[in-house]
Amino acid sequence: MVSSAMLLGAFPILPIRADAAGEQYEFENGTIVNSGENDAEISALKGASGGRTVDLKDGGKLSNPKASAQTQSLYSFLCDTYGNHVISGQQESTWMGSEDYEFDIIRNASGKYPALRGLDYMGDDFSGCNRRAKKWYEKGGIVTICWRCGSDFSGSHTEAMNTDLNWNAALTQGTAEYNKLIAGMDKGAKALKELQEAGIPVVWRPFHEFDGKWFWWGKGGAENFKKLWKIMYDRYTNYWGLDNLIWSLGYCGDVNSGWYPGDEYVDIIGSDTYVNHTESLVQMYNKTKQVSGKPVCLHENGPIPDPEKMKSDGAGWLWFMTWHTSFIDSNEFNTASYLKRVYNSDYMLTLDELPDVYHYGSSASYENTDPVFEISSPVGIKGDINGDGEVNVADAVLLQKYIMGVRDITIADWKAGDIIEDQVIDSFDLIELRKLLISKPEKTQPEHIDTPVSSYKFDPAKKYSEYGQNYKNSIPQAGTIVKESYNGINGINSLNVYLPYGYDKNKKYNIFYFMHGMGDNENSLFYNDNGETQRLFDNMIKNGDIEPMIIVTPTFNKVSADTFFNAENFYKEFRENVVPFVEGKYSTYAASNSAADIKASRMHRAYGGFSMGSVSTWAVFENCVDIVGYFMPMSGAHHWGTGNADAGALARAVDKAGLKKDEYYIMSATGTSDFAYPVLGPQIEAMKKLPQFEYTSDFSKGNLWFILANDGQHSWYYVRQYLYNCLPFFFRK
């Protein structure tokens, strides 16, 4: 067996294939037995790299630089698949007695399901479409949505064919026609927003077959169509902030020239046709491909092109999507036997063959332009294969299994695995990782942190106040938001990291973790209200209200399916996964991400949250006060939703940690019209009576304060005000 020490020795790691732990597999010239999480017996193997490689060059970037990590991940998968395989797709119907009518036909014929499901918002079926989209997403499938409707964005196919616009008026801002157009578009945006909030990327395919001119959106000609497309793109992307869309531009079979809106508005191009054969459609493919360098799909079809003909002719369609009902249940070409052959072709990708496409690639790199955010690429650690913030033997074992082709083995960050930076992951990276482990220094005792005595003059009775317009403005000294993925208790999870302007990895920074509420996610703090919270932080730092600090927004949504349970129990993932990951990667007062160093740096770490995030904050106080020094619970009480607030439990947590009263601080807030006030207010009153808490906002003399906003409500507006009021009191000790 290969022990930790043996992994640090010299051996060839050049396997051809392995599938699961605990079984023996034959290789060209040797065997490998994988019999545990970190053990493997290896003999000499033959080959150059002998395993799966990952090309890092062709991931592709979406037209929307602010796309969510999951959306960029899906697009990276699509770009990597393009030219190598064809994704199987099927448009649904909803009126044949089963919402899975076409999919059951395919399953019964082939034993497979298509990977991509086509839906249609026609007839204002927003709730039904979204429900089915969520179900398909939960199966691991890819969702694409079109919208057949009239020029008022109501009705269905008939209205799409028989209505038109007063184009000059409709495309001129300020006119009644323009306002009506925008109001209609916004119906779709609201539906897509629901999917965004559920974390579901969508291949958005509006205004299809535009150049055929039979639908209203093409009747105004090429120039008007391009204006229409750009209006929707801008409205959905910049006004609604829809970061979950992959924009698919669907030509008709003629692929007429002059209709292309531009690369900055399109992610995928496609064409469609309904023919009476199963040829590859290579001529249409080549014509579509000439439009742009974007991936090319067959966005609708009748008979499915023969996979072998597509491969031999070089018709590299990214996917096909067969139309519904008679095109699948009684078509003379799409017979049961043909469906079986197509769906079982090695060239086709079906639902069961998809990887985790939503955690497939690295997240997008973002550029900051008001009113949205700059999001930079994660600062990865070479060799940190499992994304836990450390480089150790576990990473070597994971990398070895990945190169061997073991199923269900994933790498949190591809670039972390490409250690020698040759754009592939292979055995040479494993050799280099071995060198990193050999040279890794021994761990030292936790560093004692001397915190300077602050001269800050505290307000002993801080009252609620609101910030002015100058705190809402964008400034050149803007911070950067980084999207990160890490291994949590239940698999890959996401968080955002705000790095202050001028972030320097050679400096030490205080760190503030902030948790969202029910129905929100890790993006909510920075993305709500056109990014005002980020601008607030930028201006507070610039104006000297707070020192430059790192701000992290994790999510409790993956702990379980129960929001109340999640908020109460996220502290486990916070302690075991989040803090070690973040503070192993970014420069904080923690000398390392060891438990001892994290504990030693607790007075430079804060945790806060809103609503159920406040519940999470109280739970972190009760269970992690030994690693956190400052707390900011907003509009949510201890055990809210699962039981009654217990001030005594919070006091006992302090005693258990052996802390003095000047070693933990709580600045809480809510509003008099907030529905959380009747439960949070009494909890604070109970805490005031306990000897562990001294009630004053002069944190040189006490450790507990409660800010109350007159008529303040349960909203993100007040969250920002509370941050403005409370955060300057932190990290002053």
**Residue 300 appears among annotated catalytic residues:** yes
Distant-in-sequence, close-in-space partners of 81: CB < 8 Å, separation ≥ 6: 87, 318, 349
**DSSP assignment of 143-183:** EEEE----TTS-S-HHHHHH----HHHHTSTTSHHHHHHHH
Alpha helical stretches, state H, 440-530: 524-527
Q: Tell me, what CATH number does 33's domain have?
A: 1.10.1330.10
**Residue 264 appears among annotated catalytic residues:** no
**717 and 625 share a domain?**
yes
511 φ/ψ angles, rounded to the nearest 5 degrees: -135, 135
Over 60: is that where the pLDDT of 217 sits?
A: yes
Q: How far apart are CA 473 and CA 487, in angstroms?
A: 36
Over 80: is that where the pLDDT of 425 sits?
A: no
In tens, the pLDDT along 326-343 reads: 999 999 999 999 999 999
453 occurs within a structural domain: no
Structurally, how many domains does the chain consist of?
3
Residue 125's pLDDT band, with cuts at 50, 70 and 90, is very high
In tens, the pLDDT along 676-695 reads: 999 999 999 999 999 999 99
Choosing from 92, 300, 484, 568, the catalytic residue is 300
457 versus 239: which is more confidently predicted? 239
Over 70: is that where the pLDDT of 94 sits?
A: yes
Q: How far apart are CA 166 and CA 152, in angstroms?
A: 12
In tens, the pLDDT along 219-236 reads: 999 999 999 999 999 999
Whole-structure pTM value: 0.47
**426 and 483 share a domain?**
no
**12 and 115 share a domain?**
no
Choosing from 92, 102, 159, 209, the catalytic residue is 209
Q: How far apart are CA 91 and CA 303, in angstroms?
A: 13
pLDDT at position 452, please?
A: 52
458 occurs within a structural domain: no
Nearest to 581 by CA among 501, 495, 510, 508: 495
**285 and 333 share a domain?**
yes
pLDDT at position 446, please?
A: 54
464 occurs within a structural domain: no
Over 60: is that where the pLDDT of 214 sits?
A: yes
Q: Tell me, what CATH number does 261's domain have?
A: 3.20.20.80
Q: Is-contact 392 441, C-beta < 8 A? A: no
**342 and 384 share a domain?**
no
In tens, the pLDDT along 7-44 reads: 333 323 222 222 323 332 232 333 323 333 333 332 22
Which residue range is the domain that position 591 belongs to?
469-729
Which of 359, 384, 406 delimits the end of a domain? Answer: 359
